[in-house]
Structure 1
Amino acid sequence: MARSSTTPPVLKLSLERVRAHWHRKQGLAEPLRMSVEEVVAATGWLRTLGGVDAYLAARARVPGLKRRQLDEAVEQSRLQVVPAVRGCIYVVPRPEVPLVLRIAEEQHRKKADREYEKAGIDPKELADVGEAVLKVLRKGPLSTDALRKALPEGTVRALGDKGKKVGISSTLPPALRHLEFEGKLERSQEGGRVDTERYLWRLPAKNPFTGAKVPAEPVERHARIAAIFFRQAGPTTLESFTTWAALSQREARAAMEKLPLVPVAVEGIEGELWVMEEELAVLREPVPTSESLAMLAFEDSYLAFHGGPALFTDPKHHARRVPVWGNTKGGTLGEVRFLFARPLLEGDRLVGFWEYDVDARAVVFGTFDKLAPKRRKAVEALAEDTAAFLRDDVGRAHSFSLDSDDTLRERAALVKAM
């Protein structure tokens, strides 16, 4: 962003051209010939919600991926499950972990210090609990409950009503969080699987900060995280970056000023989009139409990076009512940001939804428009492959830890009614 935000766009592009660029960068136009950790680094960290969608997001970009491939990458610390931007838990490439932990710690402390004061937690008390935790974990990984029981009596203090008011039950959770931010312990998945929110805490083979060069100044850290985001998502807007990174516009602009970002104009999108200068040459070249098909994960980066499904859907379908995640705004394809449905792509377009039918033990799908017979057969083949993966390899299809067979049935019914 060496240029001023008032500088005219250096390139004017159609939405179709930009969408094709996003699609190719995300490894959805054709498979990326990389290891799973390299794919995650190139296309975006995997959100973990205690369900199977981290596997689905990776498999959409690595066709034929087996569950064990992702689990092994985490078990071997080529990928790591860590708190990241917005306090959310992601699967992150190991080289990026030190930066990500510092960003997460910075955002965590904005409210944690106030909460600790209200709960009556003293920093020295957390340090003492932390030392006791590290001593116990020398014997091997433990869950939070097992760790609490293994600690000497009196180590952990219940915080009573003061703690309840800020959502902290005892001194153990904040002590674990601080140790994680310092790289002194790390999460491993109970059962060795990514699709869980039940963690074991273990001592790392090597502290990720050893030899790592993480900037001391927040603006420099923000610039590093901005570089990761714009290489995965660009061209995209300032708002998309602030939403993803949980930074203020002032913080985001300061970070972007340190990068070789240039503004481009895209028809149908108000305001500027920003892209790394190195990508301009690619954007000026024509790109072949992709005929790939993809069954994406819930909250897949391809849509989430750019404000939801609107830019990926034919405008004639924008008034269509769709399920919305949580209490977020919107209710139509044209306005919703967080879609509570699994997307079906034909080429770079969102053309429908899919879901796993737990009773039929099969994937069902529905499209906004009728597919040509040949394309429908191709989608049916993809559905069979995806169903086999969920049924025979993963063993379930829940999107998040509180998801259930009944909610899967509800979502499948909506898809079948299309």
Structure 2
Amino acid sequence: MVDLPTLRAYWAHRQGLDGSLAGANSAAVLERAGWARSVGGTTPYLTLFSRAGLRRDQVDADVAALRIHELPSARDCTYVLPAADFALAAVVGGGASSAAELRTAAKLGVTREEIDDLADQIVAALARQESDPAALRKTLGQKVRSLGDEGKKKGVTTTLPLALGVLQAQSRIRRVPIDGRLDQQRFRYTVWSDAPAWGGSREDAAADLASRYWAWIGVASLAQFRWFSAFTATAAKKATADLALRPVGDAGLLATAETITDLESSVAPNDPQVSLIGWLDSLVLLRRDLDGVTEAADRAHPLLAPARGTSAGGSLTDLPHQGIVDRGRLIGLWDYDPELGEIAWAPITDLARAQRESVEDAVARTAAYVREDLGDNRGMSLDSPKARAPRLAQLRAHARR
């Protein structure tokens, strides 16, 4: 029976938060730790900095060279992923968001034929020049149809985003971040004539995603994989069949035989291994189980109150701030104050002297990175210094210096 500290340290190891990815390139980090969730925030940058020390200019160069890219992927959510997974992403994403919008638009009299025709005209326009949505609408003129007040009520104002969504799901076009940055949501579109194609079936893709998922995190439950993938229970069982997953403990956690052997020989390090991670870091996002990375005594901390889920047990699900982890255990929370150019942080547990010193070192490194490379640290596109002010005040109120 593996104890929780060992399991947490093993999760951190699989995620490369133990220093084992130091010096790796962007693609190698994402192949090992998993796809980095992108919602117009800094999580992709923090993912690569916390594991490999990669600076923003190198990450942006990798994006420009298509060594990594932001694409609709699992659950049809956008992630930054390595080139090796571009073809897989298109299949497991499935264009679910686009399909839902098309169903809504159909109720407003928009046919699929109309969207397909507009999509072809978009590709022809983009073949001449990369364009943002505003420029495309100007170029296409009346070929883009307004859906009026009724469309606004349903969140579909014109036919342009519908066609763009279809084209992205088909990998006929891709988004290019304006200014080359991943921490904003301003894009141009370009034709993707050499997009890699998936060579197998959808069932093969589902099995490949399951294999990657358990390689990224090592130990997880089927329910956690279902949340990440949006697969049905039947599809998830089918996708994982070839992995021959075996129980780890009695909490529904599963792992491959190879992982279990590796885990049983693992020992949690004695010395601190502190990292500052993003709000949507894959250490927590892959499983959405903060109970697994916290001690029971720490879960009642006031700073974790916004993370409490709606389950009967009041389980903790998502980080309410950016996180501070040590050997896979959540020990504190942080956020960045752009006005002062510093990080505000607070522990959620008592820190040993060595831990506190390690946290302070990690805070200093990360603050310098945010200040020099990013300018600010937005958790998502709607984050702003004004919206962050109450969180900063909370952190400072609970800081014990």
Q: How far apart are the structure 2 equivalents of 1:292 and 1:196?
A: 30
- Structure 1 runs (4+) deviating above 6 angstroms are 324-327
Q: How far apart are the structure 1 equivalents of 2:305 and 2:212?
A: 28
2:396 aligned with 1:408: no
Shift of 1:347: 2.2
Counterpart position of 1:31: 20
Shift in alpha-carbon separation, 1:321–1:362, aligned structure 2, 3 A? same
Q: Alpha-carbon deviations, 1:171-199, whole Å to 9, x = none?
A: 11111111112221111101110111111
2:229 aligned with 1:252: no
**TM-score, length-normalised on structure 1?**
0.88
Residue of structure 2 aligned with 1:167, choices 146, 149, 155: 155
Counterpart position of 2:199: 213
Residue of structure 1 aligned with 2:378, choices 375, 398, 401: 398
In 1, are the aligned partners of 2:278 and 2:322 still within 8 Å (CA)? yes
Q: Alpha-carbon deviations, 1:66-90, whole Å to 9, x = none?
A: 1112111111111111111223111
2:267 aligned with 1:287: yes
Residue of structure 1 aligned with 2:144, choices 112, 133, 156: 156
In 1, are the aligned partners of 2:15 and 2:33 still within 8 Å (CA)? yes
In 1, are the aligned partners of 2:50 and 2:277 still within 8 Å (CA)? yes
Shift of 1:44: 1.2
Residue of structure 1 aligned with 2:110, choices 110, 117, 121: 121
Q: % of aligned pairs identical?
A: 27
Counterpart mapping for 1:12-411 below 5 A: 12-32=1-21, 33-63=23-53, 65-105=54-94, 107-108=96-97, 111-151=100-140, 153-204=141-192, 206-209=194-197, 212-215=198-201, 218-257=202-241, 259-266=242-249, 270-271=251-252, 273-289=253-269, 291-322=272-303, 329=310, 335-411=315-391
Q: How far apart are the structure 2 equivalents of 1:310 and 1:188?
A: 37
In 2, are the aligned partners of 1:51 and 1:401 still within 8 Å (CA)? yes
Q: How far apart are the structure 1 equivalents of 2:24 and 2:200?
A: 26
Amino acid at match of 1:228: R
Shift in alpha-carbon separation, 1:24–1:154, aligned structure 2, 3 A? same
Amino acid at match of 2:244: L
Q: How far apart are the structure 2 equivalents of 1:115 and 1:357?
A: 41
Shift in alpha-carbon separation, 1:264–1:328, aligned structure 2, 3 A? closer
What's the RMSD between the two structures over aligned residues? 2.3
Give unpaired runs (5+ residues) of structure 1: 1-11
**TM-score, length-normalised on structure 2?**
0.92
Give unpaired runs (5+ residues) of structure 2: none
Amino acid at match of 1:172: L
Q: Alpha-carbon deviations, 1:279-316, whole Å to 9, x = none?
A: 23312213351521100100211122233321111111
Amino acid at match of 1:315: A
Q: How far apart are the structure 2 equivalents of 1:191 and 1:96?
A: 24
